[in-house]
Amino acid sequence: MGAQWSQFFPPTATFTERDVPPQDGRIFLITGGTSGIGFELAKILYGLRGKVYIAGRSQEKAQGAIRETQTAFPDFAGSLDFIYVDLADLSTIKPAVETFKTKDPRLDILFNSAGVSQPPLGSVSKQGIELSVPNGGLLMSEIRSPPTNDNARNYTNSKTGNNFLSAEFERRNGNGQSNSMIATTAMSDIISVSLNPGAVKTELFRHTPYLNYVAWPLLYSPKLAAYTLLFAGLSRKVAAAAMYRGGWCYVVPWGRLPATGLRGDIVDATKEKSQDGKAVAEEFWEWCEDTTRGHL
């Protein structure tokens, strides 16, 4: 119960821009950086002198976000740039990667902040993929054939899938640790961190506007959620936890490592069968690879 209470009423953020040294020379890419949490994070990183790329589908919104950020820091000659990508159209991802590679030789941190919550039933991507947790994480049968009458379940499955991809990415690409954000550390390891940014008032609820009224007392400023991402990407505690906890690292509002982590059945679902796990994350990863093959 205490863990649930702290999700709805998180303690004060203890890791903010005041706790981060200047980020000169570091390169960040933020999906969903034109509004909400991603936008607040972009402002923080720009203010820390980082080189920030905002990836999104609207150049007009991106340019507006860039102008607003530059206005907030009028004396700072930092770097903000836009890269076009529409995550509801897989064919735009590879060109976005190629565009980025022409601009910079490396990427220090990728913040996966773009998302959608409970769009109208039947909403699919250009490739026909459902846009929107049972015990054991999720049912692959529901991933292959999403429920047509339960938006909330589809959304929950998508959040569970985020955790699975994070853990499986680390298992396949990390250095023995396991935990959408990817970071390089001083140890030259790749760390993939899963997080719950917090309940905030953003455009995420544009398809369910009633939630902005019903849940108003529990919705917070997007900047607080940006602190969750800042902690996940830049706190040394995260790198240490990833090693100490055998690779699984999960961050909660407003930048904390919970004592209990994720539910036990979800953790078991991320483990290989050789580790007495369910290997659901591995199966989900392979389904994602098959679905996106030819576009990446």
* 196-241 tens-digit pLDDT: 999 998 876 665 666 666 666 788 999 999 999 999 999 999 988 8
C-alpha span between 3 and 264 (Å, rounded): 14
Instruction: Examine residue 112 and state whether it is found in any structural domain, yes or no.
Output: yes
Full residue range of the structural domain in which residue 129 is found: 23-292
Instruction: Examine residue 109 and state whether it is found in any structural domain, yes or no.
Output: yes
Instruction: Examine residue 111 and state whether it is found in any structural domain, yes or no.
Output: yes
> Token digits for 129?
């993929």
Burial of 156 (0-12, 13-18, 19+ CB in 10 A): middle
Provide the whole-model pTM. Answer: 0.87
- Sheet harboring 109-112: ordered strands across? 79-84, 51-56, 27-31, 109-112, 181-184, 190-195, 250-251
Q: Is residue 254's pLDDT more than 70?
A: yes
Identify the helix (H) or strand (E) that includes residue 84: strand 79-84
Instruction: Examine residue 1 and state whether it is found in any structural domain, yes or no.
Output: no
Q: Which residues pair with 182 in a beta bridge?
A: 110, 192
Q: DSSP label at 241?
A: H
The CB density around residue 55, as the number of other CB atoms within 10 Å, is 30
C-alpha span between 67 and 95 (Å, rounded): 25
Q: Is residue 185's pLDDT more than 60?
A: no
Q: Which residue has the tokens 């930092």?
A: 78
Per-residue confidence (pLDDT) for residue 217, from 0 to 100: 73
Instruction: Examine residue 17 and state whether it is found in any structural domain, yes or no.
Output: no
Domain count, the chain: 1
- Cβ–Cβ < 8 Å for 269, 278: yes
- Cβ–Cβ < 8 Å for 269, 281: yes
State how far the alpha carbon of 275 is from the alpha carbons of 114, 278, 281, in Å.
Answer: 33, 9, 13
The CB density around residue 253, as the number of other CB atoms within 10 Å, is 24
Instruction: Examine residue 9 and state whether it is found in any structural domain, yes or no.
Output: no
Q: Is residue 105's pLDDT more than 60?
A: yes
For 267-285, the pLDDT digits (tens) are 889 888 888 788 999 999 9
Q: Which residues pair with 52 in a beta bridge?
A: 28, 80
The CATH number given to whatever domain includes residue 53 is: 3.40.50.720
The CB density around residue 217, as the number of other CB atoms within 10 Å, is 7
In the predicted model, what is the mean pLDDT of the chain?
Answer: 84
Radius of gyration of the chain measured on its C-alpha atoms = 19
C-alpha span between 162 and 159 (Å, rounded): 5
